[in-house]
Every structure is written in C-alpha cells, then in structure tokens.
C-alpha cells in the first residue's frame, strides 16, 4: 500500500507568466541559465528547503515541460509535486495553485519562479515566522537607493527610506488566511501580502536575500547567468538518489610518435612511442572517458580537446587529476577503475604494480587495476600497429 504524503507546508511556484519584459522566445520560466531553465533553478531552492507539497503553476501547453523539470529537481521528493495550468494574471495563477493544495497543508508559501536563485534558508525563515506569529510573512530587503516621489520629471519630495522595504517571495501565510483572502479579493493586487492585508490580516517582514532578486529584464538575466556556474547535462550527484554510477571508456593510439612511449602513467624507455595530441597514453584516456561517462560529464574531448593547448604533451597524472577534480565539483568520488589493455608490447607484467600505483595515485588513491592481453596476432593490435585500452569506472556520491 502506498501512503499519500501529508506535508504540513505547501509551496506554490508561479511560473505561468509570459516574460514580456524579458523579451525572449520562450515564456520566462523556460529561459535557460547555465544549462537549466529558470524554473529548474527555482525548484532547486524549493526542494532544498524543508519538505513540502510543491504545486507548480505553468503556462498553458507547458505543463509537461514543467513536470520534467520538477521531477529532475525533486529527486526522492517527486511524489510531492503537481503541475496546474496558470491564469491570465499572477493572481489568477496563485488561485489555481491554491485550489491544488492537499488537505494536510496548513502553511502556504507563494513563490515567483522568476526569483530563481532564492536560497533555501529564506523558505525556512518564512515558514518559521508564520508558525511563530500566525501572520502573513514577507521576506524583504532594506531599500538602499534614495527614493524620490516624482510627478513627470519633477521631484516632488524625498521619501524616508527607513520606512520602506522591498518585498520578495516566498511569501508565507496560514492556509485559512490565504484562502479566505483570495475568496474575497475584488481587485488585482501587486503581491499576495497586499491581497491578504486588504482582507484585514496582519503581515510582517523577515530578512530577505539579495539572491532572491526577480529576473525581470535582460540585465537581470545576465546577472543571474553570471551568478550561476554551468550545470552539467546530467544532474550532479545530489540528484542521483545516492546511487553509484558506472561508466565505460575506450581509446586507441597508433605507434609512430616522437620520443619515448608513455603508457599507463609510466615512461617506457626503449619502446616505440604512440602518436596523439597528448602523449598517446590510451590507458589513461580510456580511464578519463570511463570516469566522465559515469558522471555524465561528457567525454575527453569536452574537457581536454585539441583546442586546449595546455594539455598538448600532458601525461596521465595531469589528465586524471583534472578529471577527478571535475567529478568532485559535480559531487562524485571515484570508487575504483578496471582497465584492460590490448597490444603486443610493451610487456606489462613486470611493471603492472608500478603502473597501478601511478594511476591510482593520480586518482587520489582510488584503486586502479590493470589487465593486459595480446590478440593472438589478430587485428591492428596483433599486427603491431597500435594499442587499445578499455576501462570501466565506478563512482559514488562524494
């Protein structure tokens, strides 16, 4: 039997606006920042906050995309997500979200998807204040600029900014307060706090966060993009439900380079060199591809391609250390790597332990095991034209 979740808190994420002032092709919530949509970024904050039912209010026709974003962002909390279609105004969209709240919900947060970078602690702060006071709660920032009241171009008077606060979202309310206020609202209000206050309820502020700014204009979008590091196409370890992942990599290099042979992180004096942009170390390159594939971070060309002159002539330790760093940044640690090497030469057995130690050291101590074989004279390795390596890597959330 599956239990219906019964969260006490509900978060309505309004994402149904068209983004007229942003002026992009897609509705605002589906404009990209660093490889993910604005909505997906907003949901990252929502799902890092205390557990809650999450109702996403999407533009008509975009519900499926919203659900895909939501499932990715929700991870293990996917059963707490629903998507409803928005209205012609923000207020109409919030009303659609309210109608989708589950019976267990007692405290409701209404959040603009356009405030995509809002940190999770703002959610926690708002929930805490609603619980403590029973009032409506708005995260707000002090106004920094000097404010003037104007008529056309003429300044009429200075406004005392100590009496002003800039309101953000998520705004939190007791469910009964929000529902009754929406039921009696007879006009459009600029935000939920204004609507609730107009219905006669008390609203207080808590500290907001500069990162909770609303993406409204192209300049705001640039700012948000500048604040966000590109997200890999496959989600970071935190979205992998704590499971390990495997990846595979292979590489081939032909004999015929200059200098001495570099293979499996070792120099092999007297052996013919391999050709390649770097040192041609097929073993190291297969390991790099296996690790990147396990983490969903692309492949060796993505990070070390021929357009990166700093890797020309680089050896295994450089490649593997950087690969381990890339995985670390995405939240992954290496469990172990197995490699099989196919070639007639060099003979690996006498230096196997040394090679395994060198590769493992370059990966920060994670074990690398190395097997070598010939191909009975068959194929290009049998003919002595080159070498081939196959690697399988296992990684886990760090």
Stretch near ligand CTP under the rule CB under 6 A, chosen from 18-26, 194-202, 292-300, 330-338: 18-26
- Ramachandran bin of 104, using left for φ above 0, alpha for ψ from -120 to 50, beta for the remaining angles: alpha
CB of residue 30 vs ligand CTP: minimum separation in angstroms?
Answer: 10
CB within 8 Å of 59: residues ≥ 6 apart? 15, 16, 17, 18, 27, 29, 85, 86
CA 288, CA 232: separation in Å to the nearest integer?
16
Closest Cα to residue 58, out of 22, 33, 78, 30? 30
Minimum CB–partner distance for residue 159 and ligand CTP (Å)? 24
Residue 57 buriedness (CB in 10 A; 0-12 / 13-18 / 19+): buried
**Cα–Cα distance measured from residue 54 to residue 74, given in angstroms and rounded to the nearest whole number:** 9
Residue 374 binds to ligand CTP (criterion: CB under 6 A)? no
Q: Which is nearer to Mg ion, 22 or 105 (CB)?
A: 22
**Residue number with CB closer to ligand CTP (112 or 251):** 112
Residue 373 CA from chain centroid, whole number: 41
Closest contact distance (angstroms) between CB of 28 and ligand CTP is 4
Closer CB to ligand CTP, 214 or 277, in the complex: 214
Q: Is 333 exposed, middle or buried (0-12, 13-18, 19+ CB in 10 A)?
A: middle
Q: What does each C-alpha distance from 239 to 77, 224, 234, 247, 331 come to in angstroms?
A: 11, 22, 9, 17, 10
- Give the chain's length: 398
112 makes contact with ligand CTP (CB under 6 A): yes
Contact present, 34 and 228 (Cβ < 8 Å): yes
77-85, 86-94, 317-325, 337-345 -> range binding ligand CTP (CB under 6 A): 86-94
**Positions in 1-60 near Mg ion (CB under 5 A):** 17
Cα separation, 229 vs 91, in Å, equals 33
Question: How many binding residues for ligand CTP (CB under 6 A)?
Answer: 23
Kindly state the smallest distance separating residue 57's Cβ from ligand CTP, in Å. Answer: 5
CB of 15 to ligand CTP, least distance (A): 5
19 touches, from ligand CTP, Mg ion, none (C-beta below 5 to 8 Å by class)? ligand CTP
Retrieve residue 126's tokens. 């708002």
Say which residues have a Cβ less than 8 Å from residue 99's Cβ, sequence separation at least 6. 84
Q: Rank residues 88 and 155 by Cβ distance to ligand CTP and give the closer one.
A: 88
Nearer to ligand CTP, 113 or 395 (CB): 113
Q: Which is nearer to ligand CTP, 31 or 283 (CB)?
A: 31
**Shortest distance, position 277 Cβ to ligand CTP, whole Å:** 46
CB of 114 to Mg ion, least distance (A): 9
CB 282 within 8 A of CB 387: yes
Task: Give me the residue label for tokens 């975009």.
Answer: 62
Interface with Mg ion (CB under 5 A), residue total: 1
Stretch that binds ligand CTP, among 1-9, 82-90, 243-251, 277-285 (CB under 6 A): 82-90
User: What is the closest distance, in whole angstroms, from the C-beta atom of residue 34 to Mg ion in the complex?
Assistant: 24
Under rule CB under 6 A, residue 302 binds ligand CTP: no
87 binds ligand CTP (CB under 6 A): yes
Binding track, positions 19-58, relative to ligand CTP; x by CB under 6 A: xxxx-----xx---------------------------x-
Give me the residues that bind ligand CTP (CB under 6 A), please.
14-22, 28-29, 57, 86-90, 93, 112-114, 214, 216
């Amino acid at each position: 039997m599956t239990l219906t979740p019964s969260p006490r808190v509900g978060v309505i994420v309004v994402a149904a606006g068209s983004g007229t002032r942003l002026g992009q092709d897609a509705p605002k919530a589906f404009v990209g920042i660093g490889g993910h949509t604005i909505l997906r970024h907003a949901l990252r904050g929502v799902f890092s906050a205390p557990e809650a039912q999450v109702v996403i209010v999407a533009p008509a026709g975009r519900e499926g995309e919203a659900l895909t974003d939501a499932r990715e962002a929700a991870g293990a909390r996917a059963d707490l997500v629903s998507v409803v279609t928005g209205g012609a105004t923000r207020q109409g969209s919030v009303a659609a979200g309210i109608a989708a709240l589950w019976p267990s919900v007692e405290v409701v947060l209404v959040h603009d998807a356009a405030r995509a970078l809002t940190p999770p602690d703002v959610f926690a702060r708002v929930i805490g204040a609603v619980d403590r006071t029973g009032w409506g709660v708005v995260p707000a920032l002090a106004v920094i600029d000097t404010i003037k009241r104007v008529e056309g171009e003429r300044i009429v008077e200075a406004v005392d900014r100590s009496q002003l606060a800039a309101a953000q979202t998520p705004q939190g309310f007791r469910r009964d307060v929000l529902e009754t206020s929406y039921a009696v609202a007879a006009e459009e209000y600029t935000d939920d706090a204004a609507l609730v206050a107009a219905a006669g309820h008390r609203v207080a502020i808590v500290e907001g966060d500069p990162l909770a700014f609303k993406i409204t204009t192209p300049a705001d979008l640039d700012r948000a993009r500048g604040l966000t590091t590109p997200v890999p196409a496959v989600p970071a370890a935190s979205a992998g439900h704590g499971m390990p992942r495997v990846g595979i990599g292979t590489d081939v290099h032909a004999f015929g380079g200059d200098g001495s042979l570099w293979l499996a992180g070792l120099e092999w004096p007297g052996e013919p060199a391999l050709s390649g942009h770097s040192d041609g170390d097929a073993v190291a390159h297969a390991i790099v591809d296996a690790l990147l594939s396990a983490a969903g971070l692309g492949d060796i060309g993505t990070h070390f391609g021929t357009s990166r002159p700093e890797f020309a002539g680089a050896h295994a330790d450089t490649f593997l250390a950087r690969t381990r760093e890339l995985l670390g940044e995405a939240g992954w640690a290496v469990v172990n790597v197995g490699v099989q090497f196919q070639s007639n030469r060099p003979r690996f057995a006498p230096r196997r332990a040394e090679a395994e130690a060198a590769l493992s050291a370059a990966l920060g101590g994670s074990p690398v095991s190395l097997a070598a074989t010939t191909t009975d004279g068959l194929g290009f390795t049998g003919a002595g034209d080159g070498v081939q390596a196959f690697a399988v890597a296992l990684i886990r959330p760090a």
